[in-house]
Structure 1
């Protein structure tokens, strides 16, 4: 698989031989949330997204930006497709209602990240080979590629507006946690990222990545 990069920074890889239980799946979601708060600095440095690879059509991915009114996504855990502008407005209304209900000044959940895209003329997004938005960092993934307890192969993508290094640090932290969480050996397949002209930008994992103890990761070079 290849990802075309039009903006910012991205690394991705495929993780195979995954077997979740209800308990380990719940912990995996908690791990992602923890890493967003710590390594990713509340999504200021990077955003981690996970997809069920078997729910994606064959072909390459494209990481680009679209105007809020043109980006269309079926957000995670929602039933309707909406534009980026509609989602932002919906989340902002929900956030304000929750603050009033709980009598708090701070936002919670994904509502905390709205300020990261507020006022931007374009929103970042990852498209599958059919042009469907599967990720809208730093806000949400798409319901169409949502992972669940039955997921066997995970596409992991990490995006950043700061640096490629931030992407790699977050990716390695997630894979380390996953190795410790599951009991079976994992297989990681490289994903190549190129620019729109086809120039190679990054391959992950490279031969120098994933050097840690505590489990077994077999890397498949492509």
Structure 2
């Protein structure tokens, strides 16, 4: 099984630095915006799924792969306990069926129809979800940080104290993923920019960061775009600006060939971004 032939064959990611949520209300507005984007551009998560994480809770490199639901643990967002992917998937299907029966319908409602993206027909008949193949993103600790299109990790959720965000978008094609990611960056630029200049923003790279690009047998690996010579880059960030660092997705089954880097020079070109490279 390969994530490239699964329900979410494409993924883009980047990190955004210097974010400031001035209030809980603003953070909640961002979370509501994500729900709206999932409904609209994501087509109720059937075409694309967004995950946003507090970067301080994550260790690179990340691996994007596909696994049997029984083989991994996840602490689903806004759920009280950690469990297997199998248990969480079964719970979601139960919730979807209860909703369907309450409406006296034969199909899942729009809210739950993203479950059909996964190959769950046989599992629903037997109520055994252990072998359902599910895409996951895993960090180097290793902790599962997202399960598109089902959930993100509660352990990497955003808070009002979050200042550095990992954005990841998985979907059915690359242009859609990029469009979705740019939409998120645009919202952050309009709503979470610091009002005062953050002088001497230092993009410092550690030996640990460089060495963590370890070889793996999984399908795709996401690695921070970094200076291999460990130089220190000091940038004066003007007010009303954010720093966006690209992430490379490489195919580890194809000698680490580059699949995509976002943002590249062909991204964030709209005048509203006023991008300085």
The alignment's TM-score, normalised by the length of structure 1, stands at: 0.86
Unpaired stretches in structure 1, ≥5 consecutive residues: none
Count of aligned pairs: 211
Give the alignment of 1:133-144 within 5 angstroms.
133-144=144-155
Residue 56 of structure 2 corresponds to 54
Q: Does 1:193 align with 2:249?
A: yes
Whole-angstrom distance in 2 between the partners of 1:77 and 1:17 = 25
Q: CA offsets, 1:26-50, max 9 Å, x none?
A: 1111111111111122222211100
Q: Report the CA distance shift for 1:90/1:175 in structure 2 as closer, same or farther (over 3 A).
A: same
State the shift of 1:143 in Å.
Answer: 1.0
Q: CA offsets, 1:153-203, max 9 Å, x none?
A: 00000111x211111111111111221222432110111110113111111
Q: Does 1:19 align with 2:20?
A: yes
Whole-angstrom distance in 2 between the partners of 1:112 and 1:26 = 25
Which among 256, 259, 262 is matched to residue 204 of structure 1?
262
Give the alignment of 1:53-202 within 5 angstroms.
53-57=55-59, 59-100=60-101, 103=103, 105=105, 107=109, 109=111, 111-119=112-120, 121-160=132-171, 162-184=172-194, 185-196=241-252, 197-202=255-260
Unpaired stretches in structure 2, ≥5 consecutive residues: 121-130, 195-240
State the shift of 1:98 in Å.
Answer: 4.0
Q: Is the 8 A contact 2:19 2:193 kept in 1?
A: no
Whole-angstrom distance in 2 between the partners of 1:181 and 1:217 = 17
Whole-angstrom distance in 2 between the partners of 1:190 and 1:198 = 17
Residue 203 of structure 2 corresponds to none
Q: CA offsets, 1:99-131, max 9 Å, x none?
A: 555x4645365x342222142841000000122
Q: Is the 8 A contact 1:76 1:140 kept in 2?
A: yes
Q: CA offsets, 1:39-96, max 9 Å, x none?
A: 1222222111001000113x30000000111122111111222222211111122233
Residue 227 of structure 2 corresponds to none
Whole-angstrom distance in 1 between the partners of 2:46 and 2:99 = 23
CA RMSD of aligned residues (A): 2.1
Q: Is the 8 A contact 1:188 1:217 kept in 2?
A: no
The alignment's TM-score, normalised by the length of structure 2, stands at: 0.70
Paired residue secondary structure (2:142): coil
Paired residue secondary structure (1:151): coil
State the structure with bigger RCO (CA 8 A, min sep 6), 1 or 2. 1
Higher mean C-alpha displacement, 204-213 vs 185-194 = 204-213
Q: Does 1:30 align with 2:32?
A: yes
Q: Report the CA distance shift for 1:38/1:97 in structure 2 as closer, same or farther (over 3 A).
A: same
State the shift of 1:216 in Å.
Answer: 5.2
Q: Does 1:40 align with 2:98?
A: no
